[in-house]
Chains A and B, each alone.
Chain A
Amino acid sequence: MKRGLISVLFFVILIGIWEAIAISGKFSPVLFPRCEQIVEYLWQSTCDGSLINATLVTLRRLILGYAIGLAFGIPLGFLSARFRFFHDTIGLLALGFQTLPSVCWVPVALLWFGQTEQALLFVVVMGTLWSVVIATEGGVRAMPPIYVRSALTMGSKGLHTWIHVIFPASLPYLVGGMKQGWAFAWRSLMAAEIFVTILTGFGLGQLLHYGRDLNAMDQVFGVMLVIVVIGLLVDRILFSPWEAFLHRRWGTSAAS
């Protein structure tokens, strides 16, 4: 309760400082809009549906790309951690591509797929996949080998060991991989939406981009705020309960 109060107080002060600077008139109101203007933009664009629509378009792209990244990244990470052949091939490839900022895939995506949904999806998947592979591989390698040995002596082998030992034993590390994958997916989608204009749907990134074109700083900050809030909500809704469960089971101390 007290901690919640401190958080609220902190943000109230932060908004107060912003408002004070905006009112002081030191900067042009075009570049430094007051809080009311941002709130007004948010309200209006919510009422006319443009913001909601853009959010839905973005989330659809994000979830699809993230799901594909996980569906391929987690199995590849496991294979890479357990078999030398995969480590020396897929693992190396992942390591290389992971160092490539995802926005670097935009030119390729545009030339291969044109201004289409597939281009955006391609960028998101490329941004997500490799970091998930690397994080999963690291997680599985960090798993204490005693679990598998102990399971072997109890008669577990092959697929049974994978499903009942290796997978659950690496869960705490997998969450890390999935969180990182999420962060990468979010970033690459925003980069892609800002650079690629497609007519089948305006996402938040595109809304942000037009805000710049129109010199509408209230729109720019408003959209940024929405992006931040979505990131926070996903962390709270998707990952927090899972992490809390793992902390309870494993007895690792939750960040407090």
Chain B
Amino acid sequence: MSLEQELENALPDRIELRDICKTFIGRKQTTIALEQIQLSIAEGEFVCLVGPSGCGKSTLLNIIAGLEKPDSGEVLISGEPINGPGRDRMVMFQEHALFPWLDVLDNVLFGLKLKPGLAAKERLEVAKYYLQLVGLEHVEKSNIHELSGGMKQRVAFARVLAPNPRVLLMDEPFAALDALTREQLYGDIQRIWQARRKTIVFVTHNVREAVCLGDRVILFSPNPGRIFQEFEVPLPRPRDINSVSLAEYSLRITATLKGFTNPETNQVAE
């Protein structure tokens, strides 16, 4: 495979979820994390899953990733049922999950080394390309602990982008960052998504974040975890999280959300 081919945009994948059910049996109580989830995500679509804590949205993401198995139902990626984790679906976690024993460049190379058909020199070029894409080519030899929180998430982003997966799964990747860094990353992720065109499933409990990033926002309700309502976001891109139209749109979703969240345990940010 030539380098040009490698850096070409891989065709994004279609994701279909059929009748996904998942129940956690605890010592004291049984939680129905997911009940009969049906969802179709188009090629290249950016979908945000929103809901209060405990509505099963992260569980669903782990199921799509293949890290957890559903009790029943199946996940189809471009028509094929999945079997465990796979390189076609990369996951970005809330914690950066970078390996502290490797430097920045080697972290980005980790996934590339597991991808067959690339020579060492090509891998290096690909890794540097993505580090440049996230604006961090100058820290490639740094240790992970020397980076700021935002830089770490950027490296993690480069790491999941590098093997050129067709699907990106993101589990609250910006939740632990400060507001200013987050806003920068909203810009970055929209820019990179438009350039690299991937199917993205993004889990968050922040409605505005979801409206800012998603083509579609899917609202989950807890106990049992179900899809409550879907919202198409018609706003033009690139979107600014501070814009009035975005805030107005978010308000509609938040109002729906308040309908089923107990105000005392309301953990949903507006």
- Contacts from A to B (Cβ < 8 Å): 146-147, 149-156, 160, 164-165, 168-169, 171, 248-251
Contact = CB atoms under 8 A, between A and B. Distances in A.
Closest 8 CB pairs of A and B: A251-B145, A154-B111, A150-B97, A168-B101, A155-B87, A155-B114, A153-B91, A152-B85
Nearest to B100: A250
B101 A251 contact: no
Interface in B142-179: 143-146, 159, 163
B100 A154 contact: no
Contact of A250 (B86, B93, B145): B145
Given A152-B67, A155-B86, A155-B114, A249 B100 contact: yes
B95 A146 contact: yes
A179 to B, nearest CB: 19
B99 A168 contact: yes
Contacts of B145: 249-251
Query: Main SS of chain B's interface residues?
Result: loop
Given A152-B85, A155-B115, A248 B99 contact: no
A40 to B, nearest CB: 50
A154 B90 contact: yes
B186 interface: no
Interface of B: 65-67, 85-87, 89-91, 93, 95, 97, 99-102, 110-111, 114-115, 143-146, 159, 163
A155 B97 contact: no
**For B65, B85, B89, B163, which residue has the most chain A Cβ atoms within 10 angstroms?**
B85
A157 to B, nearest CB: 8
Given A146-B93, A169-B99, A153 B163 contact: no
Nearest to B163: A154
16 contacts: A146-B97, A149-B91, A153-B65, A153-B66, A154-B111, A155-B85, A155-B163, A164-B110, A168-B99, A171-B101, A249-B101, A249-B145, A250-B100, A250-B145, A251-B144, A251-B146
A77 B100 CA distance: 22
A72 to B, nearest CB: 25
Contacts of A250: 100-101, 143, 145
A149 B99 contact: no
A150 B91 contact: yes
A153 B85 contact: yes
B93 A150 contact: yes
B114 A156 contact: yes
Nearest to B115: A155
B89 A153 contact: yes
Nearest to B162: A154
Given A153-B89, A154-B87, A160-B114, A248 B97 contact: no
Contact of A154 (B66, B101, B114): B114
Given A251-B145, A251-B146, A154 B110 contact: yes
Given A146-B93, A154-B163, A248 B67 contact: no
A152 B83 CA distance: 13
A169 B91 CA distance: 19
B111 A147 contact: no
Contacts of B95: 146
**For A150, A152, A165, which residue has the most chain B Cβ atoms within 10 angstroms?**
A150
A150 B87 CA distance: 11
Given A146-B95, A156-B114, A249 B143 contact: yes
Contacts of A248: 143
